A and B are shown apart, each in its own frame.
Chain A
């Protein structure tokens, strides 16, 4: 691999990490618009992060070293996961060495430490949040893997970069399997990133918290890292949906013009996706926790249907 490739990969990952709060605030501003509220400014999430980084860390007396390590591990694992996702350009060295299964693995690693940290202090909320998160993850992950397999069957590769290039080269083909995979991935993404029908990221109401319950004990820079990681995860799923199913515009060569087009394309796609998410979050009510398994079952079924329609309708000789 060339130097430019690695440099671009580094730049892309930095961009990924730096823009994650921007996507979060974009969704929040859209939600504010639909809900007739005054919106915070675009710099607000960055200010929040800076504020949290400056603040003193308050630790519980019985916090183990794991509790202190967890934010760094979660943040690092999420960054590495983000590095494997092509954002602006395909064929980067970081995307070549990892495929979708590795990506899911890194996200699972982050979740594992998040759940451990939630249980570490021994408060009721942390344990409850961790148990909920893990039980939902055990349903979301098979669905996510099924989506990956469906995509892999169509493009004959689990590598994200190869998948995008393959879909770009084959042009406009109406593949029902990819439609089902897209719907399945949308549902899984909502569940995994804790957005509205499954979890509400803006609330700290005791009985409904999922993600927030686990990080309740964190403060200062630890909390900043955890929140940043959550924003990053949202961005990862957004980019996955935007770039796998609508790969048009992504740069396949390392020229300035192609990269600029890629950047503009992904920005437009993410903005659209964020606006749709904001409308959906405004229109839908949060569902009861016991209905979430049904929701994820639907996601799994959609992905399975994608795989079946691929075999029945699209393969053939």
Chain B
């Protein structure tokens, strides 16, 4: 499927899919919490746009509802909730320190190559016009995982998780033109509930270890203070 031979709408699908991948990389590179929430909102917006474009090209009208759901949930509601959370936790200006940022970005590029390699046989079987974007959407899932692995801050990890969920939804849309509405609604509410639960958890974590740096959870310092005296 050469890009010069397909219609402008299909080109637009491919273009916005590439932009979704770009926002994934931006999320990975972004070290400021507030900015990464904004990038996450843009990713949700782009996924919704791509879904709407696929609905337009393929004539699958139920995808419009999916797109609308994604737009409201991923581009507006969840970023707003995270924003509120960050504001109430008082970490608006927090800057995450990532170890070896250059290596992690190159690892993400390697993940894109890997998902291309994995998706190649699937693309051969599929006859959908969006089959080329399967690899991209899988890469978004894997990069979401990489964000969770490479971050220490609980909030950034949750953003990585949400971005992974974006990727999963994207895989479903481009490989099968969307899941049944019931499943999609279920997942949407799951994510919403997850976001609420994460919010509660953040406060719990902060109350017990006085930080959101989850690396500190590795230490068993409940009974012993850092200087060795018993509590």
Contacts and interface: CB of A to CB of B under 8 A. Distances in A.
A305 interface: yes
Interface string A297-309: 1100100110011
Contacts of A297: 101-102, 105
A174 B14 contact: yes
Interface in A278-309: 293-294, 297-298, 301, 304-305, 308-309
A312 interface: yes
A179 B116 contact: no
B112 interface: yes
A315 B133 CA distance: 12
Interface string A156-174: 0000000000000010111
Interface stretch (B17-25, B198-206, B214-222): B17-25
Interface stretch (B4-12, B75-83, B180-188): B4-12
A179 B132 contact: no
B116 A308 contact: yes
Contacts of A173: 3-4, 11
- Main DSSP-derived SS at the B contact region: helix
A180 B112 contact: no
Interface residues of B, number: 28
Contact of B19 (A176, A294, A317): A176
Interface string A224-265: 000000000000000000000000000000000000000000
Nearest to A154: B3
A207 interface: no
Nearest to A308: B112
B29 A298 contact: yes
Given A312-B116, A316-B132, A294 B3 contact: no
B208 interface: no
Contact of A313 (B12, B102, B113, B132): B132
Interface residues of A, number: 25
B136 A170 contact: no
A305 B4 contact: no
A15 to B, nearest CB: 33
Contact of B113 (A175, A294, A308): A308
Given A176-B18, A180-B18, A308 B11 contact: no
A284 to B, nearest CB: 15
B65 interface: no
B15 interface: yes
A317 B17 CA distance: 19
Contacts of B18: 176-177, 179-180, 309, 313
A174 B2 CA distance: 12
B125 interface: no
B141 interface: no
Contact of A174 (B8, B25, B132): B8
B135 interface: yes
A314 interface: yes
A311 interface: yes
B230 interface: no
A170 B133 CA distance: 22
B224 interface: no
Contacts of B99: none
Nearest to B105: A301
Contacts of A174: 3, 8, 11-12, 14-15
A284 B25 CA distance: 22
B109 interface: yes
A312 B187 CA distance: 28
B2 A315 contact: yes
Contact of B102 (A179, A294, A314): A294
A294 B109 contact: no
A312 B19 CA distance: 14
A174 B13 CA distance: 10
A305 B109 contact: yes
Given A294-B101, A316-B132, A176 B14 contact: yes
Contact of B1 (A176, A298, A316): A316
Contact of B4 (A170, A311, A312): A170
Interface in B118-143: 132-133, 135-136
Interface of A: 170, 172-177, 179-180, 293-294, 297-298, 301, 304-305, 308-309, 311-317
List of 5 A-B pairs having minimum Cβ-Cβ separation, nearest first: A176-B18, A314-B3, A174-B11, A316-B1, A174-B15
Given A172-B8, A176-B17, 15 more contacts: A173-B4, A174-B8, A174-B15, A176-B19, A298-B105, A305-B25, A308-B109, A308-B116, A309-B18, A312-B112, A312-B136, A313-B3, A314-B3, A316-B1, A316-B2
